[in-house]
Structure 1
Amino acid sequence: MAAGDRISALPNDVLQHVLSFAPAREAAATAILSRRWRSVWRRTGAIILDSKPYKHAQREIGYYSPAFDTFFRDAHAALAAFRRPRGGSGLKRLTLALEEGTYHLSRSSWYNKDPEPEKDSRVHDLLDDPAVARLEELIVSCENSYHRRYAPPLHSLPCAATLRVLELTRCNLEQPSHQGGGAMSFPHLTDLTMRNCYFLEGCLQATIDAAPALANLALANVHQRAPEPAGSTKKDFYMLPFRVRSPTVTSLAVTQTYVEDEKELEASSSNGGRIELDMPSLRFFRYYGFRIKLALTSPTPGLARVDLNVTASRQRVRWDLKYEPPSRILANFSSTRALKLRLGYIEDLIAADEVPLTAFPNLKLLELDAKYQYMNGNTAVAMATLLRSCPAMSELRLRLNMRWDYDHERKYENHVGGSFGEAMDRFESLGSMSSAHRDAVQIGGVSELPDAFTNNGAFSCLQRSLRKVTLQFKAKEANCFQVQLAKFLVENAMVLEEMHVDDGIRFWPDRLFHKLARWRADAFCKRNLQLPDTATGFQVYQLPSTVVDPEQERSLYYSFD
């Protein structure tokens, strides 16, 4: 072993794990390093067949390239090595990275209006190889082509009986009549992931129905294809509507951030369709995308966590599209015990007066990431509405930053030195004060929240259950909304035990960290209240400063997703 060769000193099981992530050609090439390596890569149980290195530097006019003949020859040779594992367990995971020329043949140029190029069956032949017969994980990823994508033969996969994990990226799901296979059956499939896939209506549900043990489902930017009109070669693709039904799925992740035209975007708004979910066993749900209609058509008593991010946006679209209000989306998940919510603006929660925010009687953890608008009266109302909707909440995590505002920036530009100059002025003035006077100035100067925040009764969670608060933001001024909110929480949360803060301020006289415990003690003293036994040890913790500057985020707000 060479003096600098440390990888050869690794145990065989570690080497096998490392080689399982290498393309087949590179993994096989390790056999020249030493005799010991010759059999190691064969026992990895995993192989990656990547056609991209075989692609000609200059693409030919048609799809077909003789270079892919070499790819298929090498691929079959690599699979042949797994037919005789010699002490290994055989091939368990296969990854196919396919260029378009591996599954399409055409003599016409790319701009020709012919409906479909001729299909190449050699990828199917790879999936029919005896080495793949007992596969447990199959990952197929295709070149980023528009509509002409690979359609895996799901109805005739030899490994269907043993497959546990199936991942498809940029593939088509086609009816069995197009593939010549029988009914699909995946008796052991537990994990199904589809990214940027197209399917005819019914194909997605048929795939799910064929997997009676399916537990984890991920759908990222899947598109439903409209039926072709008679005599037409035009194909229309839509994100929505689609309906998914499964009695066994416990984890579902949906992403809808990509659209190809306004017609598709309209279908994702409340002007068009929606996503309907019939999943009574659902325990975890994650959604990232546009504000679309979501509907749970059956009760989900075991729902433990919901992660909603409805901040996806697209430039140069019609402004008359009516997106679904966040309050209506949230109404589907009232039984969840943990909610992570990311909004464009917190004021969006009360934007639709006719759709009041639902109550979350079982919610223990709420995590909110949003901006708020400068000097907007709805900011406090939205925050109060959210707190009242969570009567049993025990932990609150907030990441709030103010949206960039021209008037606010001008106010600080007119102050010499901006916010830095203001902080230095405060620092110098505090230095000349007595200790008692300095404490009074530091603790004071923070306004109470607007009356709209405390109207309509008390907050149940503040009276009985809220024990931990995490607050992250970048303070633009000492008397900002986030500081006012922190002051309100420490003064009114009866059983609060700890608060974790990062206010983004770099000058010690203005640090919120130093004020919270004093505010709490003074408030209880003024009201002649006795702190509960569980709250007498109230602690404040300083978080590492990880808050992104809102000014840096502003440039990304109108970007494509």
Structure 2
Amino acid sequence: MHVELESGYRSLTVDDFLNSNVDDWARDLDLVGNVVSHPVARRVEVLVVAAVTTIDLASFDDEEEAGAGRADFSLRLGRQPSETLRVLDLTGCGGLSGAALPRLTTLRLRQCFSQIEDLQALIDSAPELAAVHLDSVFLAGTKEGCVRLRFWAATALVMTNCGSGCFERGGGALEIDVPMLRSFKYTGFPRRFSLISSAPDMARADLRFLHQEHHDVHNADERRALFWRFLHNFGGVKSLKLKVSSLKSIAVGGRALRAELLLVLPGVEHLELTAPHNPASESCPVSIGNLLRCCPNVRDLVLRLSRDLPPYSFKNSTYVHDVLQEQRRADLDVSLHRSARRRRGGKSNRRRQEGGLLGDAGGIHGLSGRSFACLRSSLRRVSIQFQFELDQPNSLGVRLIKFFAENATCLQEMCIDDGNDRIGGHINPWVERWVIAISLPRFRALPLERQ
């Protein structure tokens, strides 16, 4: 059941349509309940109810007026099929209550509002509930400054932009008890988080941390500590993917602080970091070094480094796409010009340029001269994606290539994407020739598949 209100209907809300009886305003209509409790639907196995509003924010005078058109309906599961229901997928639900769901295996809630007690009761009534996806769900009813949820049978849990009153007041904690958890995906602000229990051989965790400058935690050191303490919960995970708003924001310096925050994550074998960085900042490679220190057994390392942009940019995606396209066209023009110049300069000039690309790359603050266990014993594959500039050949990406080539003694493969569509400007052939020239035939250089 899908109900959608298009923008422009200021006098009507989805709530009015779903719940108001025009013939008798004193009696609620409960359109959702009447439809899904119809005898035809008694043995339904998959129930999807979505109430959404397509809002053109520019047509409203303020945010409060726009918010008045949000979707809202209540679902009383006592009237709906319960014995046969396997999948429950709700969008815009303002309240859940009702009967047990003994066969429920999948629960998806999007843009919903729920009392924690009601959500926990639903979870407790579903002993086979394996997959839970909570997207923009506001959890109400917390009195102790902490959100606690228990998922007894869940193996996959997704939490995206979930909120609670205690989070907004500052200092609120999130506690999750998932003894069977194999896969966890989180998108939101760094906050006090405790994964009380999870499977000892947890397969993967995908964590995306949003920019927090205007959130409840304003101190940079406190935000940094929250990030690293969040990671303490995933010591046994095999694959750890991290996406942060800035490399600088997670860098930890100082011996005492490193000892407190940088705990070992011994289970991590695949580590992927996606982040913008400031090429002029020395704290960016410090963050990479911090992660290498925490993951002594990592075998596959992926670094996706983009240009640092302002955290709150109001340019839309079309604008960004056009800018990137124009930049690539300019890159191609520069590449064609310099390729022609290299051809005119002969082979000796080309060898000098290619040899100097990596041969002249300097050390990296926070990495060079330090000892990392993974470089000596486990690291087999390194993938680096960055933005290479011919005018700035000694960039962080180039220096990282040189660092891992010289220090990762077990390295077998290095995959590189320099971020540009230049003819003859791809960095991989240069790396191969440089590796051979300095007698490091331990690994091969390959192009990195873009995402």
Question: TM-score normalised to the size of structure 2?
Answer: 0.78
Q: Does 1:341 align with 2:242?
A: yes
Offset at 1:467?
A: 2.0
Distance 2:6 2:122 in 1: 35
SS of aligned partner of 1:454: coil
SS of aligned partner of 1:247: coil
SS of aligned partner of 2:17: helix
CA deviations on 1:506-536 (whole Å, 9 max, x unpaired) are: 44565321222233334446xxxxx6xxx4x
The answer to whether the Cα contact below 8 Å between 1:349 and 1:357 also exists between their aligned partners in 2 is no
CA deviations on 1:173-230 (whole Å, 9 max, x unpaired) are: 2555xxxxxxx21111000011111122311111111111110001111112359xxx
SS of aligned partner of 1:515: helix
CA deviations on 1:234-277 (whole Å, 9 max, x unpaired) are: xxxx9x842210221100000017x7xxx96x8258x3312210
Aligned to 1:380: 285
> Which of residues 353, 356, 362 is equivalent to 1:448?
362
Q: Does 1:267 align with 2:167?
A: yes
Shift of the 123–425 alpha-carbon distance from structure 1 to 2, 3 Å rule, reads: closer
Offset at 1:474?
A: 1.9
The 5-angstrom pairing of residues 69-84 of structure 1 reads none
Aligned to 1:400: 305
Shift of the 422–168 alpha-carbon distance from structure 1 to 2, 3 Å rule, reads: closer
Distance 1:346 1:317 in 2: 19
SS of aligned partner of 2:297: coil
Distance 1:221 1:56 in 2: 21
Distance 2:11 2:397 in 1: 61
Distance 1:540 1:503 in 2: 13
SS of aligned partner of 1:213: coil
SS of aligned partner of 1:119: coil
Q: Does 1:185 align with 2:100?
A: yes
Q: Does 1:167 align with 2:89?
A: yes
The answer to whether the Cα contact below 8 Å between 1:274 and 1:294 also exists between their aligned partners in 2 is yes
CA deviations on 1:47-102 (whole Å, 9 max, x unpaired) are: xx4455xx899969677xxxxxxxxxxxxxxxxxxxxxxxxxxxxxxxxxx76413
> Which of residues 17, 42, 46 is equivalent to 1:101?
17
Q: What one-letter code is carried by the residue in structure 1 that aligns with 2:248?
A: E
SS of aligned partner of 2:74: coil
Number of aligned residues: 407
Offset at 1:402?
A: 2.9
> Which of residues 212, 218, 236 is equivalent to 1:320?
218
Offset at 1:461?
A: 2.0
Shift of the 387–508 alpha-carbon distance from structure 1 to 2, 3 Å rule, reads: farther
Distance 1:58 1:501 in 2: 49
CA deviations on 1:310-366 (whole Å, 9 max, x unpaired) are: 13568x767837646321211111110001110111222225863523322121111
Distance 1:226 1:117 in 2: 28
Find the structure with the greater CA-based Rg: 1
Distance 1:153 1:212 in 2: 20
CA deviations on 1:86-128 (whole Å, 9 max, x unpaired) are: xxxxxxxxxxxx76413233799xxxxxxx9852134323222
Range 99-108 or range 472-481, more displaced = 99-108
Q: Does 1:489 align with 2:404?
A: yes
**Structure that is richer in strand per residue:** 2
Unaligned runs of 5+ in 2: 54-67, 311-329
Relative contact order, higher structure (CA 8 A, sep 6+): 2
Aligned to 1:142: 51
Q: Does 1:213 align with 2:113?
A: no
Offset at 1:301?
A: 0.8
Distance 1:333 1:448 in 2: 34
Shift of the 224–496 alpha-carbon distance from structure 1 to 2, 3 Å rule, reads: same
Q: Does 1:251 align with 2:143?
A: no
> Which of residues 108, 113, 117 is equivalent to 1:198?
113
The answer to whether the Cα contact below 8 Å between 1:127 and 1:158 also exists between their aligned partners in 2 is yes
Offset at 1:444?
A: 1.3
Unaligned runs of 5+ in 1: 1-48, 64-97, 109-115, 177-183, 228-237, 406-417, 526-530, 548-561
Q: Give me the CA root mean square deviation.
A: 3.6
Q: What one-letter code is carried by the residue in structure 2 that aligns with 1:338?
A: S
> Which of residues 184, 190, 199 is equivalent to 1:300?
199
Distance 1:364 1:333 in 2: 12
Aligned to 1:153: 76
Aligned to 2:38: 129
Distance 1:398 1:62 in 2: 49
Distance 2:127 2:413 in 1: 45
Q: What one-letter code is carried by the residue in structure 2 that aligns with 1:126?
A: V
Percent identity of paired positions between Structure 1 and Structure 2: 27
The answer to whether the Cα contact below 8 Å between 2:133 and 2:159 also exists between their aligned partners in 1 is yes
Range 485-494 or range 204-213, more displaced = 485-494
Aligned to 2:321: none
CA deviations on 1:400-419 (whole Å, 9 max, x unpaired) are: 023259xxxxxxxxxxxx97
Q: Does 1:471 align with 2:384?
A: yes
SS of aligned partner of 1:202: helix
Distance 1:58 1:425 in 2: 53
